[in-house]
Amino acid sequence: MTKIQMTVDGATVSDDVEPRMLLVHYLREKVGKTGTVIGCDTSNCGACTVHLDGRSVKSCNVLAVQADGHEVTTVEGLAKDGELHPMQAAFHECHALQCGFCTPGMIMQSIDLLNDNPKPSEDEIRLGLEGNLCRCTGYHNIVRAVQTASGQEVGS
Amino acid sequence: MTVTEQPAAEIGKDRRRKEDQRLITGRTRWTDNLTLPGMLHMSMVRSPFAHARITSIDTTEAKAAPNVVAVITGKDIAEEQGSLPNAWPITPDQVTPAHPPVAIDRATFAGEIVAVVVARSAAAARDAAELVDVDYEELPAALDLKESAEDTVLAHPDLGTNKSALWVFDSADAGTGGNVEEAIAKARQDGIVIEREYRQQRLIPAFMEPRSVVVDPTGEQITMWSATQVPHILRFLLAAVLGVSESKVRVIAPDVGGGFGGKLQTTPEEFIAMVMARRLGKPVKFTETRSESMMAAHHGRDQWQRLTLSAEKDGTVTGFKVDLLADLGSHVALIGGGVPVLGAFMYNAIYKFPSYRFQVQTVLTNKAWTDAYRGAGRPEATFAIERMMTELAVELGVDPLEIREKNWIKHEEFPFTSVAGLEYDSGNYEAATALAKEHFGYDELRAEQARRREAKDPVQLGIGVSTFTEMCGLAPSRVLGSLDYGAGGWEHASVRMLPTGKVEVLTGASAHGQGHETAFSQIVADRLGVPFEDVEVLHGDTQVTPKGLDTYGSRSLVVGGEALVRAADKVVEKAKPIAAHLLEASADDLDFAGGRFTVRGTDQGMGIGEIALATFAAHNLPDGVEPSLDSDATFDPVNFNYPHGTHLCAVEIDTETGAVKMRKYTCVDDIGNVINPLIVAGQVHGGLVQGIAQALWEEAVYDESGTLVSASFVDYLVPTAADTISFDVDHTTTPATTNTLGTKGVGEAGTIASTPAVVNAVVDAIRHFGINDIQMPCTPERVWRAIHDSGGGGGEPTTEAAAPHFDPASGNQGTADRTDGADS
């Protein structure tokens, strides 16, 4: 067991964990952040995407011990004082989710995408979300949500 | 039935979804989020062989591993586990192998459960599962569908055959049309006969949330949380198979992360969790990994279609003969055998065929079992006829839309009884097609295609057409009974006016991402004249919503929605005499609108919420009136539901690499009146991508030993945002006449229509190389090989006309090469 400490959605947490424990399991099972979910075992689906020191990572690709001393933000830490993050609001406004299982990861990735490129083209959005799978929306409305959150005009 | 003609305030409005708040903030209730005190975890030991005798299982080491509570084999629970149900035997003599959730002495596909480990943590269970030592004697496996149909290798040697059932529909026998053999014979003399063989590759539903189940046996009742589409059916089957009282079983489907038919199975894992929880007296959880899901949740499609279409020289179709082989996998799944039968009624699609014959042979193999996947039978049917109609147009040298128009049912001919015996209530194929052509810029794209061909452009343009209808809203119970389907087609709803004036709505149509809470709120808000925000929709818990038949086959709105309308209308009816009493007026003098009863000719009135409060207080009610304001309705539809539409697709093919790129996709669907256009468009977008994915990317591939090699998202190509494009979606409105709302199902429409549209486009782009088929999925390699073998490509296409070629022995047509997995 290894002792770790990190900030998750603004709160400090510390635990003894097995060195093999993945960050996603740590967040879900130890910290109770079940908003972050597991969709695959090959790092392809992106449902577990969180921010590590402000950059998106697939939390199934990071060991909990690697996050020791770092800052983690999950989808549960986005809304501040009851106000949705603009990306959350855009997903709602554009109907960019159906079953919602990929949504936390998709939102976290989309925020990071705009951090790098505040006014992405449609192609840039599509490429930027390539690591996150959605089975319900056909991506059409997800692309519109990212355009909306970036303050760009969107089509129907 | 009266169709509401004037859309009321809420219906037709782009309401943002009520469901979204919890989903976008991570407060969702997925089954795998659940942790109960003392909860144990299961891990499955699965067969690595497609077919093997289990000679021994040594569980000693696993049992001794840390934190392990139990390790069991099929033999250990042989008496408790029963046999998984088959609810749709399609013929009385169907061969249906017994289906124990844990294999007892023989594993029948790679991925089948042979032992189960229960431990105090999921990690401990997984670790110990590695220690279970199973000895297998590998047996020959039935893998190739065509060979299996010949009983070359037996999937179940004790049964003596792989043939499960032969189901036939003939229009001459049914009295719905003429004799197809005569039509074909005549066409061979003085008409046109098109013969083709198409493969519907095996697909994996690939819902994003892996299946998960938690069973809590403590207390008076057994409670199961499951990521299922069918909590009500599951409760019934669990109780029946395990021999416990239905009232002692509660099934909760909390938030469910997609299904697409893939979560309508009653799974071995659910039954095993139930058995183990009861045995151990503790809550038990199982959550599958993605590769387990890929290997052992049910698959879809997997058919060979042998097709013969006959027509007169002017293009008037005279007959269609369909001969299918359908791969069931190792067992007959819940409704797996019935999927092709559902499709049987749709091969004539929107056309006035005078004769039709359909035959399906269902076949057992040593692969994962197949069952419903988005569209269930209807995508396969639509693909077949839309490819064939396109080939007929090519044969005649006319535009593919022209041949469709020549044969389709005209708007003024509805209602129309199809050659398959269905009564189509309404449709307007002319309007949808005209609008789609306009949106798409059909003529301009055809002109560009001609220019590129002329210029021998290395990037060629292809245009694909698909017109479709489907039977959805499953469906009249009597009709399902005549097909030997094991359940009815009704749906249940309750509408309860609470004393606060808020409305609680219960529906048996359990959602898994479709937005029922929003759309159903809109319907009830309009019927009762209350604010949208005041309606709360409850679903997915058999304790809260005890009656229902769940969600599949695009039935929620057209069957469940109609039940809601009826329950809400009964509430108004019930409120009326109370309002009359309280207003001291005659009920005959009352009008109800906007949530208020008013006395005609006066300004006196009373809101329905006030009446709800009055019934709660019950101080002043008319004699004989129950002190409550709620009602139930169970609706059994009088007919299926027939949405339709026209889809147009343009693809660009790089003839040097075989890469297919989506250029434009236009669809105009007609689902009658629309409750929430935003939700409808979302359903269409998602459906389109699933259908396009069958055409271009997805395929479950088994290798020669029967191992699923596409058992992860690395190998099974669910499209990404970068693979797809934004769609051009519109609709026409031809109300259904068979429900009050005038609406039709939409969940499967996009998937059903898009696959043939895309393959028609792919073939259209390279037909001038002499190619008339590319097998799905149309991967770059397949497309490149077809072009390469034709001698075209690289900017030097040949100009030879496509020569239809049919070789039933190999299934090959044209020059398309087949480089797929071992089972093709």
Distance between B213 CA and the closest CA of chain A, angstroms: 15
Nearest Cα residue in chain A from B726: A140
pLDDT at B698 over 50: yes
| Range list for CATH 3.90.1170.50 in chain B | 34-139+208-258+263-296
In chain A, which residue's Cα lies nearest the Cα of B676?
A95
3-class DSSP state for residue B605?
Answer: strand
Give the whole-angstrom CA distance, residue A77 versus residue A80.
7
Structurally, at CATH architecture level, domain B34-139+208-258+263-296 sits in Alpha-Beta Complex (3.90)
Q: Could you say which of B32, B682, B722 has the minimum Cβ distance to residue A95?
A: B682
For chain A, give the percent of residues with pLDDT over 70: 100
Give the Cα separation of A96 and A119 in Å (integer): 19
Instruction: For chain A, positions 11-40, list CB contacts with chain B under 8 A.
Output: 18, 28, 33-40
Just give the CATH number of A86-149.
1.10.150.120
Cα–Cα distance for residue pair B391/B69, rounded to 1 Å: 62
Q: What average pLDDT does range A65-93 have in this prediction?
A: 97
Instruction: Count residue pairs from A and B with Cβ separation < 8 A.
Output: 174
Secondary structure (DSSP) of B537-575 = EE-SBTTTS-----S-TT-IIIIIIHHHHHHHHHHHHHH
Whether the per-residue pLDDT at A106 is higher than 60: the answer is: yes
pLDDT of residue B532: 97
**What residue spans in chain B does CATH classification 3.30.365.10 cover?**
20-27+490-635, 379-473+639-791
Nearest residue in chain A measured CA to CA from B728: A156
Mutation test of the interface with chain B: which of A20, A83, A85, A139, choosing the one with the most B Cβ atoms within 10 A?
A139
Please state, rounded to an integer, the average pLDDT across all residues of chain B: 94
Query: Which residues is B167 bridged to in the sheet?
Result: B360
pLDDT digits 0-9 by tens, B272-297: 999 999 999 999 999 999 999 999 99
Characterize the bridge pairing of strands B535-538 and B503-507: parallel
Mean pLDDT of B774-784: 97
Confidence of residue B90 (pLDDT cuts 50, 70, 90): very high
Of the candidates A42, A74, A76, which has its C-beta nearest B290's C-beta? A42
Q: Where are the domains of chain A?
A: 2-76, 86-149
- Are B625 and B578 contacting, i.e. CB atoms less than 8 angstroms apart? yes
Using CB atoms, which residue from B690, B722, B727 is nearest to A126? B722
Residue B549 has pLDDT above 50, yes or no: yes
Rounded mean pLDDT of A121-149?
98
Spatial strand order of the sheet with B503-507 comes to B535-538, B503-507, B491-497, B630-635
pLDDT value, residue B242: 80
Is it the case that residue B656 has pLDDT exceeding 90?
yes
Tell me: ipTM over 0.90: yes
Which residue does chain B place closest to A20, by CA atoms?
B123
C-alpha to C-alpha distance for B322 and B344, rounded to whole angstroms: 9
**What pLDDT was estimated at residue B1?**
56
CATH T-level fold of A2-76: Ubiquitin-like (UB roll) (3.10.20)
The Cα B486–Cα A97 span in angstroms is 34
Checking if the pLDDT of B446 tops 90, the result is: yes
* Radius of gyration for chain B, computed over Cα atoms and rounded to the nearest angstrom: 28
Is residue A5 within 8 angstroms of chain B, CB to CB? Answer: no
Most A CBs within 10 Å, among B15, B25, B514, to test the A interface: B25
Cβ neighbours of B374 in A, within 8 Å? none
Pick from B290, B712, B721: which is nearest to A130 by CB? B721
| A83 min Cα distance to partner chain B (Å) | 11
Place B82 in a pLDDT band, splitting at 50, 70 and 90.
confident
Q: List, in order, residues 6 or more apart from B157 with CB less than 8 Å away.
A: B139
Cβ(B154)–Cβ(B161) below 8 Å: yes
Q: B447 Cβ partners below 8 Å, 6+ apart?
A: none
Q: Where are the alpha helices (DSSP H) in chain A?
A: 23-25, 86-93, 103-116, 122-128, 140-149
In contact, B286 and B270? CB cutoff 8 Å: no
In whole angstroms, give the CA distance from residue B339 to residue B328.
Answer: 10
**Nearest-Cα residue of chain B relative to residue A98:** B513
Q: What is the pLDDT of residue A126?
A: 98
* CATH 3.10.310.10 is right for the domain spanning B379-473+639-791: no
Residues of A in contact with B750 (CB under 8 A): 138
Q: In this predicted structure, what is the pLDDT of residue B793? A: 62
Amino acid at A108: M
pLDDT, tens only, B397-441 = 999 999 999 999 999 999 999 999 999 999 999 999 999 999 999
Best residue in B208, B292, B675 to probe A by mutation, most A CBs within 10 Å?
B208
The pLDDT, as a whole number, for residue B8 is 64
In eight-state DSSP terms, residue B25 is H
b/e map B789-812, b = 16+ CB within 10 Å: bbebbeeebeeeebebebeeeebb
Determine the residue type at B784.
Answer: W
Name the one residue in this structure whose structure tokens are 């697409």: B260
Asked if omega into B217 is within 30° of 0 (cis), the reply is no
- Locate B337 and state its tokens: 């055998």
User: B20-27+490-635 maps to which CATH number?
Assistant: 3.30.365.10
Confidence at residue B392, expressed as pLDDT on a 0 to 100 scale: 98
Closest CA to B484 of B84, B88, B85: B88
Model confidence band, residue A139 (pLDDT cutoffs 50, 70, 90) = very high
Q: From chain B, pick out residues whose CB is under 8 angstroms from the CB of A101.
A: 28, 30, 207-209, 257-258
Q: Evaluate if residue B555 carries a pLDDT over 80.
A: yes
